[in-house]
Structure 1
Amino acid sequence: MPPARDSTAPSTSMGRGMDVLTALTELVSEGGRPTVAEIARVLDRERSQVSRTLATLAESGLIERRSDRSFDLAWRWYATAQELTAQRMRVHGLTVLQNLSAELGEAAFLSVLQGATTLTMLESLPAASRMIGSWIGRAYPAYCSDAGRAALWDAADDEIRAVFQTTEFSPQGPRTPLSVEEFLTRLDEDRGRGYSIVDQEAEPGLYSVAAPVWDFRGEVVAAIQVVGAHETMSARAAECGAACASAAAALSDALGAPRRA
């Protein structure tokens, strides 16, 4: 449940509207069907004031009132919010990657999940990088890619099995997972430490860490990776993993992600 906000009402109608819209978004993202009374309680505001604001938002097409008198975000709001999220991910994501790459002296990437593959969207390479060519636009099998497990961080086991139901887990490196169950075991280990470690799974000699990025709905929308040579990065796994998780959290904040326990 979102925490109660300051009981002092914002001085403008726009401020009140954003407060109500934010509370509604948080409640809906938790699977709720919020009513006027529930939103007013969360905001510690007068019910009549919240009701008027909700009516205005509904007239603007940003929210919808259900037959049971609860409220939901309208498709127009979702489309606008997702477009804004994609734009922010590109702008803030590049800055986050540049800072991460400069801090660690390793290549940093941002990837998204597309079916059973991951697609590289952004990259930042250190000045001393020996990497040839760009990885942007390249797709990799998610079962062995740097971002695969991070991109599926919050998915249930059955969802992950469905993602890979037609995938052949063929060896790409000496430590490639050879089944969906092995993938799930490694993902469980990743969740315990707070970031993924992918050691020579995609190809021999390649080592990486990765962490999930959440959006305003609290859903994983991307993964940040730090990629380098096994002989240099394996000794720095904890350092690189913590920095990667911190960078992913910073980008999640920029996308309006709810605070996680």
Structure 2
Amino acid sequence: MLKSSSMGRGMLAILALGARQGAGLPGGTVAGIAADLDKDRSQVSRNLRTGEQEGFLSRTGERTYTLDWSLLTDAQQLTARRLHTDGAVALEHLARDTDEACFLGVLHGAGTVTIGESVPASSNLVGSWLGRPYPAYCSDAGQAALWESSDTEVRTVFAGVDFVRHGPNTPSDVDDFLMRLAAARVRGYSVVDEEAEPGLYSLAVPVRDFKGEVAAALQIVGTKARLEPRRTECAAALVAKGTWLEARLGYRQPLSSQD
């Protein structure tokens, strides 16, 4: 499908130019890109001009095309703004629907930091977590924040980290954490059961951005006695609101092989 459409041909030309820059080359001329793709020069020229008009490419005085990163930068800045504004909406609605404390956290080194929260008075949680770091290996957001990371990447994050016991169920080491992360992926959301502190229970899902990368973790946090019996219904609300927030950040679910 990609090769047969005009949009597909345009994307192939842009990807070929990206491959050149990825190889350390400064850019590409129409003739060079046409040779790379084994395509007609006039067709490639039209595709590159369209890419320039749409803001994906820029052209130097030597008639060499290069990728224009300003579009990606603008998209990333928009994503950051929406993560806070639409994230606040998601938190408010999720807290209202579940009557539990809800948070938005991001990965920062080997820890997580809360960037948004909505805490109903009835949740029985006291104080604010905004800006407070916590070890990712046992935090409410840790598994979800590392959702798309490979085992090697997770091991790199926790290299040199001592898995200090914060609750009765704190992971003992990185292998223990990876086992819990694998189970969370199968389940569709993470369950952090008295890992961060005694009596604390939480559910979390990753929130991906337009690049398909995890931008944050959306969490429901409460006492174990109160939240665990309502896990199924709260998890359903959490997954639905996480999907909504991902759509606001430009994430598109990948098509299945049957689509």
TM-score tier (shorter): 0.7 to 0.9
SS in 2 for 1:161: helix
Q: Aligned pair 1:74/2:68, yes or no?
A: yes
The one-letter amino acid paired with 2:50 is: T
**2:80 maps to what in 1?**
86
Correspondent of 2:205 among 211, 216, 220: 211
Q: Who wins on radius of gyration, i.e. which is larger?
A: 2
- Cα deviation, residue 63, structure 1: 3.2
Q: Write out aligned runs for 1:161-200 (5 A).
A: 161-200=155-194
Contact 1:107-1:227 within 8 A present in 2 as well: yes
Q: Aligned pair 1:53/2:53, yes or no?
A: no
**1:68 maps to what in 2?**
none
Residues 157/64 of structure 1: CA separation in 2 closer, same or farther (3 Å cut): farther
**1:43 maps to what in 2?**
none
Task: Work out the percentage of aligned pairs sharing the same amino acid.
Answer: 45
Take 1:110 and 1:72, find their aligned partners in 2: how far apart are those partners?
37
Take 2:66 and 2:197, find their aligned partners in 1: how far apart are those partners?
46
**1:39 maps to what in 2?**
none
- Cα deviation, residue 79, structure 1: 2.0
Residues 49/112 of structure 1: CA separation in 2 closer, same or farther (3 Å cut): same
Q: Aligned pair 1:122/2:119, yes or no?
A: no
Contact 1:63-1:77 within 8 A present in 2 as well: no
- Cα deviation, residue 253, structure 1: 0.3
SS in 1 for 2:191: strand
Q: Write out aligned runs for 1:7-86 (5 A).
A: 50-57=47-54, 62-63=56-57, 74-86=68-80
Contact 2:125-2:222 within 8 A present in 1 as well: no
RMSD: 3.1
Contact 2:52-2:58 within 8 A present in 1 as well: no
Contact 1:196-1:241 within 8 A present in 2 as well: no
SS in 2 for 1:128: helix
Residue segments in structure 1 that go unaligned for 5+ positions in a row: 10-15, 37-45, 66-70
Take 2:124 and 2:138, find their aligned partners in 1: how far apart are those partners?
22
Contact 1:172-1:202 within 8 A present in 2 as well: yes
**2:102 maps to what in 1?**
108
Residues 232/119 of structure 1: CA separation in 2 closer, same or farther (3 Å cut): same
- Cα deviation, residue 138, structure 1: 0.7
**2:136 maps to what in 1?**
142
Take 1:48 and 1:78, find their aligned partners in 2: how far apart are those partners?
23
Take 2:229 and 2:58, find their aligned partners in 1: how far apart are those partners?
53
**1:12 maps to what in 2?**
none
Moved over 6 A (4+): none
Structure 1-normalised TM-score?
Answer: 0.77
Contact 2:218-2:238 within 8 A present in 1 as well: yes
